[in-house]
Amino acid sequence: YLNCLVLAQPVFEPHGVGVMFCLPNRTWLRSMINVSGTTSLDWCIDQLFAEEKNNARSTGELFAHLEALAQQSRLGARGVLYLPYLSAQGITAPLHEPAARAEFSGLTLEHTRSDLLRAVYEGLALSIRDGYACIPAQIDDIWLTGGTSRSAFFCQMVADCTGKQVVLPAGSEFGAKGAALLASVGSGWHASLEEACAAVTTIAHTYDPDPVLRPAYDALFADYTALREALVPVWRARQRTE
């Protein structure tokens, strides 16, 4: 995941974390990077739902089935919390910690695959909130692109978790589209980036947060950040076993 903010003025906090780019229209792009992101979901599917993956006739059919299973659990995954730090590089935002590792916390004999799957989805949504929460800037809405943006279940979860409206722009391959827009301005086809963006940007869908769920997600986010902070010394100590 790339958690990005477009800013009128540079914001360097938190120091030493994430990256900053100067944009052509005199704005700034502040980015927080989750080096694992949706690979957590890929890993979960490969390890726990391999049969469903092999039997699915399409990717859409597979994810529709998995989302139905995740909804058999409930908000908070019946007490299971997931930290999505699967990369051997650790994490680079909202803090730089090479020793960080993924965790399931709260497992009992009563939990099912549905609970673990729900926990992974929630861990990804919480990591998005975490990436934005550390930047001292106002966020009005969140625009989602990429594979997970095709999931209405996940988009609504991100909206509920962050308390922000989630916006889905129409189209795909937005990195390539951005390069094309820069070329169109550079060649004179469009007079400015604002004009170029207005010409090609349409909104496919929006997801509004459910205020009723906000207290539960606030409590879950507090548990998520507390677990991460508590595990830092454990991760560092366990590096010697790797």
Give pLDDT tens digits for 64-103.
999 999 999 999 999 999 999 999 989 988 889 999 999 9
- Both tokens assigned to 83: 């930290």
Asked if omega into 169 is within 30° of 0 (cis), the reply is no
- Amino acid at residue number 210: D
- CATH of residue 108's domain is 3.30.420.40
* Alpha carbon distance 151, 120 (integer Å): 14
Range of the domain at 237: 2-241
What own/partner pairs with CB < 8 Å and gap ≥ 24 does 229-233 have? 231/83, 231/100, 231/103, 232/97, 232/99, 232/100
**Is 91 in contact with 85 (CB distance < 8 Å)?**
yes
CB-facing half-sphere around the CA of 57: CA atoms within 13 A: 0
pLDDT in tens, the chain (242 residues): 678 888 999 988 888 888 888 987 788 999 888 777 789 999 999 999 999 999 988 888 899 999 999 999 999 999 999 999 999 989 988 889 999 999 999 999 999 999 999 999 999 999 999 999 988 888 999 999 888 888 999 999 999 999 999 999 998 888 899 899 989 999 999 998 889 989 989 999 999 999 999 999 999 999 999 999 999 999 999 987 77
Which candidate, 30, 224, 33, 229, places its Cα nearest to that of 136? 30
Task: Report pLDDT for 148.
Answer: 83
CB-facing half-sphere around the CA of 178: CA atoms within 13 A: 7
State the total domains in the chain.
1
- Coil/strand/helix, residue 162: helix
- Say if strands 141-143 and 203-207 run parallel, antiparallel, or are unpaired: unpaired
